[in-house]
């Protein structure tokens, strides 16, 4: 396979493009919440071809693609549009390390958008639907233990032509809709395990009772198997306990150091699966002791609380798009930067908007104490219905609803253990919203430890913990709050164009355009004054649109390439901190 690669030119790039190594892009361990020492990264140059959807196999390929960057991105080296009438094919070869002899081999995909079928050595291994969550296959019985193995992946992605969850992706980008993302867009990797192994963890901190409720799902466990769990404060052992696989275990955490936005302390975990005094599997993980709840203030107003203390949360809307990688950040440092700059600007929260990030993004938020409100990516078949001046997307097929529920459940399972996430947002505005109360209750039942914002903006159905309004330029205070917490889920959208740092789209979208930075800063300060007035009334959170420009949108605090902070950083930081603490 040729090792020639370069990003496709024609649009702005981020500075991190220079750090992309085509032989090993995104080399970091992709699953920090369940880490093993042995693994093999399969990122790099693969063969690719785009064919008609009806093609069931291919004999030749068009060239090379850099995995895990989506085929539409510049960093893939391809930058080709994939339609719902086409299928994207990948191929690469790999060898299993000799040291893994006698082990079972798992093939992991961080995320593939949307429907993926996988073959090893011309034998079909499995299929997965859903563009935002990880999946894996046991490929042991399909492998050659010596020599090269052929891995083929085919992908069909309908984007906005098939009723699937897609966030802001569209085949015709404009205004607040962005370039579609197809195929592999997160790390692909191999992992050796024993015949019995730790498949997943579930952890719920309980700061009121100084304990961690813990459960390890063990694949192919025997009656005599035991788990040995050790809690560490850096290298100091805090507590050790033995328990049974697939059973809830309460682990004491005496005098816990609490995770919060100012001091995001994380405990380390060592978990061993033991049978007849032999260690079959060993993984490392971590957790944070924190509690999210609703409390009444001195006036009887319900507010958001972290660790039994009322905390006003002020954050940014974060689309998670990159000019060079689209859904995929060029490097792990780039992924971290967006969180760091949000923190430097004085925000204590991010609303991850209709996108799910790679696991390492949430790991960085955990490490930095960045609170996260996690949206479910929207979908549904597009149907134009004029509701005042707005367009909603209804779900007209039971299949679309089933897809939504499956992916929602998988998303919550995937992100369950990250302390940074404190609010689930099943619906954004009216985009695919349906059965709101039923959906809210489903989320609550799956994860009673967090709060649920039934729908951010537009259609209030009276369920969940939070009542949310949107207003541009805003901010606003929601109507019909009832017994819930009041928040302003979107406001702002102040726009300023920075030449040489914009996406090449003729029509630029902005909620309010400015000709000078001074005027933009002045109005921003005024909006925060209004936000603080609503805070006095009972508002518990505000979310500003948005952290960066994205394609045709120029209403970011930063340019799309992350090179320019549009307003004075220290001034904005001072204003933002006053919103949280005054």
How many CA atoms are closer than 13 Å to the CA of 160, on its beta-carbon side? 18
- Asked whether residue 9 is domain-assigned, the answer is no
What's residue 145's pLDDT?
Answer: 79
Residues 186 and 261 occupy one common structural domain:
no
Number of domains in the chain: 3
Residue 1 within any structural domain of the chain:
no
Give residue 42's domain range.
15-193
For the chain, the maximum distance between any two Cα atoms, rounded to a whole number of angstroms, is 73
Q: Domain for residue 435, yes or no?
A: yes
Are residue 265 and residue 390 in the same domain, yes or no? no
Q: What is the mean pLDDT of each run of 10 residues along the chain (582 residues)?
A: 78 96 97 98 98 93 97 98 97 96 97 97 97 97 92 96 91 94 98 98 98 97 95 94 95 96 97 96 98 96 97 98 98 98 98 98 98 93 44 58 93 98 96 91 97 94 96 96 96 96 92 96 98 97 98 97 98 98 92
CA dist., res. 367 & res. 493, Å (int): 29
DSSP string, 331-362: SHHHHHHHHHHHHHTT--EEEE-S----HHHH
Whole-structure pTM value: 0.96
Q: Which of 580, 567, 466, 454 is nearest to 520 (CA)?
A: 567
CATH number of the domain that residue 519 is part of: 3.20.20.80
DSSP reduced 3-state for 427:
strand
The answer to whether the beta carbons of residues 130 and 406 sit under 8 Å apart is yes
DSSP 392: -
Is residue 356 located within the same domain as residue 500?
yes
Residue 42 belongs to some domain of the structure: yes
| SS3 label, residue 106 | strand
User: In the Cβ-directed half-sphere of 211, how many Cα atoms lie within 13 Å?
Assistant: 9
In the prediction, which pLDDT does 116 show? 98
CB 15 within 8 A of CB 78: no
Give pLDDT, residue 242. 95
Domain boundary among 193, 221, 237: 193
Three-class DSSP category at 11: coil
Q: Is residue 8 part of a domain?
A: no
**What CATH number is associated with residue 28?**
2.60.120.260
First-to-final CA distance of the chain: 60
Buried b (16+ CB within 10 A) or exposed e, 27-63: eeebbbbbebeebebbbbbbbbbbeeeeeeebeebee
Answer yes or no: do 347 and 273 share one domain.
no
DSSP 444-486: HHH-TTSEEBSEESS---S-SSEEEEE-SS-----S--TTSEE
Q: Are 90 and 80 contacting, i.e. CB atoms less than 8 angstroms apart?
A: no
10 belongs to a structural domain: no
Quick one: pLDDT at residue 430? 87
Domain stop point among 165, 193, 221:
193
- 271 and 312 belong to one structural domain: no
Does residue 137 sit in the same domain as residue 100?
Answer: yes
Of 263, 287, 311, the domain-final residue? 287
- At 394 the pLDDT is 52
Assess if residue 26 is contained within a domain: yes
Contact call for residues 80 and 192 (beta carbons, < 8 A): no
Within a domain: residue 426? yes
Residue 134 CB neighbours (<10 A): 21
Ordered DSSP codes for 30-89: S-TTSB-S--EE--EEEEEEEEETT----S---EEEEETS-TTSTTTT------TTEEEE
Note whether 130 and 263 are same-domain residues.
Answer: no
279 and 309 co-located in one domain: no
Tell me how far apart the alpha carbons of residues 275 and 224 are, in angstroms, rounded to a whole number.
7
514 with 484, same domain? yes
Q: Is the same domain home to 536 and 397?
A: yes
The Cα–Cα gap between 146 and 474 comes to: 63
Are residue 430 and residue 537 in the same domain, yes or no? yes
Q: What is the CATH number of the domain that holds 267?
A: 2.60.40.10
Q: What share of the chain is helix, strand, coil (3-state, %, to 5)?
A: 15, 35, 45
**Domain co-membership, 299 together with 378:** yes
202, containing H or E segment: strand 197-206
Element (H, E) at 281: strand 278-287
């Amino acid at each position: 396979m040729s090792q020639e690669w370069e990003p496709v030119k024609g649009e702005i790039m981020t500075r991190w493009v220079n750090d992309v190594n085509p032989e090993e892009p995104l080399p970091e361990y992709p699953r920090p919440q369940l880490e093993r020492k042995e693994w093999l990264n399969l990122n790099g140059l693969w063969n690719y071809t785009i064919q008609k959807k009806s093609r069931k196999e291919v004999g030749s390929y068009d060239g090379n693609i850099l995995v895990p960057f989506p085929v539409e991105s510049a960093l893939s080296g391809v930058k080709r549009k994939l339609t719902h009438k086409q299928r994207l094919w990948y191929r690469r070869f790999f060898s299993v390390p000799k040291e893994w002899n006698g082990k079972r081999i798992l093939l992991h995909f961080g995320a593939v958008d949307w429907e993926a079928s996988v073959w090893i050595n011309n034998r079909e291994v499995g299929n997965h639907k859903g563009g935002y969550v990880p999946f894996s296959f046991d490929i042991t019985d399909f492998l050659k233990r010596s020599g090269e193995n052929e891995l083929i992946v085919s992908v069909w992605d309908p984007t906005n032509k098939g009723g699937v969850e897609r966030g802001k992706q569209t085949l015709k980008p404009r205004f607040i809709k962005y370039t579609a993302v197809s195929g592999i867009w997160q790390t692909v990797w191999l992992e050796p395990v024993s015949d019995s192994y730790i498949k997943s963890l579930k952890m719920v901190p309980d700061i009121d009772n100084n304990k961690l409720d813990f459960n390890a799902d063990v694949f192919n466990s025997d009656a005599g198997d035991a788990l040995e769990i050790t809690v560490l404060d850096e290298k100091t052992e805090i507590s050790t306990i033995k328990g049974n696989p697939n059973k809830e275990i309460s682990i004491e955490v005496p005098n816990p150091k609490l995770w919060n936005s100012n001091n995001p302390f994380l405990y380390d975990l060592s978990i061993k699966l033991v049978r007849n005094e032999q260690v079959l599997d060993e993984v490392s993980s971590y957790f944070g002791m924190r509690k999210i709840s609703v409390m009444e203030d001195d006036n009887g107003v319900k507010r958001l609380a972290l660790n039994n203390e009322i905390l006003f949360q002020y954050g940014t809307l974060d689309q998670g798009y990159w000019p060079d990688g689209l859904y995929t950040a060029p490097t792990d440092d780039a992924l971290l930067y967006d969180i760091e700059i949000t923190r430097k600007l004085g925000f204590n929260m991010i609303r991850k908007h209709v996108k799910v990030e790679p696991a390492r993004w949430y790991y960085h938020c955990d490490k930095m104490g960045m609170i996260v409100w996690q949206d479910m990516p929207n979908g549904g078949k597009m149907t134009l219905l004029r509701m005042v001046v707005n367009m909603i997307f209804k779900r007209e097929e039971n299949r679309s609803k089933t897809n939504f529920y499956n992916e929602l459940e998988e998303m919550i399972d995937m992100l369950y253990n990250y302390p940074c996430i404190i609010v689930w947002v099943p619906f954004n505005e009216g985009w695919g919203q349906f059965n709101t109360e039923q959906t809210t209750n489903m989320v609550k039942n799956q994860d009673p430890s967090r709060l649920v914002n039934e729908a951010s903006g537009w259609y209030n159905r009276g369920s969940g913990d939070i009542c949310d309004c949107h207003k541009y330029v805003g901010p606003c205070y929601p109507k019909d709050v009832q017994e819930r917490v009041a928040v302003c889920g979107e406001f702002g959208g102040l726009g300023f164009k920075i030449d040489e740092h914009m996406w090449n789209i003729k029509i630029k979208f902005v909620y309010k355009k400015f000709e000078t930075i001074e005027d933009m800063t002045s109005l921003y300060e005024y909006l925060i004054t209004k936000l603080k007035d609503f805070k006095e009334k009972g508002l518990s959170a505000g979310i500003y649109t948005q952290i960066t420009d994205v394609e045709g949108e120029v209403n970011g605090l930063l340019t799309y390439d992350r090179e320019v902070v549009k307003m004075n950083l220290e001034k904005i930081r001072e204003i933002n901190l006053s919103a949280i603490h005054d």
